[in-house]
Amino acid sequence: MATMHDVARLAQVSVSTVSYVLTGTRPISQATRDKVHAAMAELDYQPNAMARGLASRRSRIVGLLMPMDERGLGATETAFVTGAAAAASTAGYHLVLAPVGTTDLDDLRRLASQRMLDGAVLMEVQVEDGRVAVLQEAGVPLVLIGRTSDTAALSYVDIDFDQTVREAVDHLVGLGHTRIAYVNHSEAAIAAGYGPAVRTRDAFVARMAAHGLEPLMIAAEDSAAAGREALDAALAQAPDLTALLAMNENAVFGILGELAARGRTVPGDVSVVSMVTSPQVAELAHPALTAMTSPGSALGRIAVEALLRQLDGVTGDHHQQLLPCALEIRGSTGPPGR
């Protein structure tokens, strides 16, 4: 791998001259600059990110801040990360995944004070999210994948949960279902103000009411065991249940397993729609899940692109954009059976 010394030797200049060409910290004649760039091209020399950032006093590192637990990242969450990483790489930045949630504010203050990040993208956003104020106070540019309750001075991209839930409910109602339960994230997530859980809860109630139907929501932890328990609870409250809508991928597989254990077929006895799901996850089930497919990769890319425009000083209003999930019909939904 070529070094700065190799470039200097081929261009017949000093190492400090190569450094000045890279950083712009001193004026260099165009002829000398051209020699250095020609030598870099011939040697395929790749200056490191810190060297490239010296002139602008940037690290050329952006952080993707999201809480993590023992479950790690599934295929659906990974799409957000890969979309963001690709956008950062295209622009010559590095994306660093930092497991920082709303309970880690002291860690975030330390991270922000070290000026290691040029900017940050926040995921798993709560409607009242303390990470926003910490970054704003530290002067760190930020973009949210998600929304807080007050977005007036923020840039964000998010799923259009109202439209997503509306299309999911309409799909089931259009098939003839009138007894539909929604399996959400946990009570703790809802109480903490986790944006997707709160917004889908409200959207489900509103859309069921628009159809003149009674809404039934079951909160569940993110696990297969919790999915089985959620199905028990749903059937206890609605023995005539014919359809389930879920935004909890781990719980969905428990639901499918429990339905099979009870001798109930999908979709003959119960139709199932999984919301905010990747095609990879939907295809793991049998039958494959009808899903509201997550635009995760696009959201990750758009968020980073919006952040980089901030870093480049591009003027204009804050970037605020909603993307719906797309309905993809597979084998887990059909008209109600017996």
The tens digit of pLDDT for each residue in 231-290 reads 999 999 999 999 999 999 899 999 999 999 999 999 999 999 999 999 999 999 999 999
Are 71 and 126 in the same domain? yes
CB 130, CB 158: distance < 8 Å: no
- For the chain, what percent of residues have pLDDT higher than 70? 93
What residue numbers bound the domain in which 84 lies?
61-159+296-324
Structural domains in the chain (count): 3
Are 39 and 107 in the same domain? no
CB 252, CB 225: distance < 8 Å: no
CB 175, CB 334: distance < 8 Å: yes
How much is the pTM? 0.81
Torsion, CA 117, CA 195, CA 245, CA 164, rounded to 10: -80
How confident is the model over 42-59, as a mean pLDDT?
64
Length of the chain: 338
CB 183, CB 201: distance < 8 Å: no
| pLDDT value for 55 | 47
Least confident of 7-16, 24-33, 34-43, 292-301: 24-33
Minimal CA–CA distance to 216: which of 228, 203, 198, 204? 204
Residue 338 lies in a domain: no
Minimal CA–CA distance to 122: which of 64, 53, 51, 44? 64
Are 168 and 233 in the same domain? yes
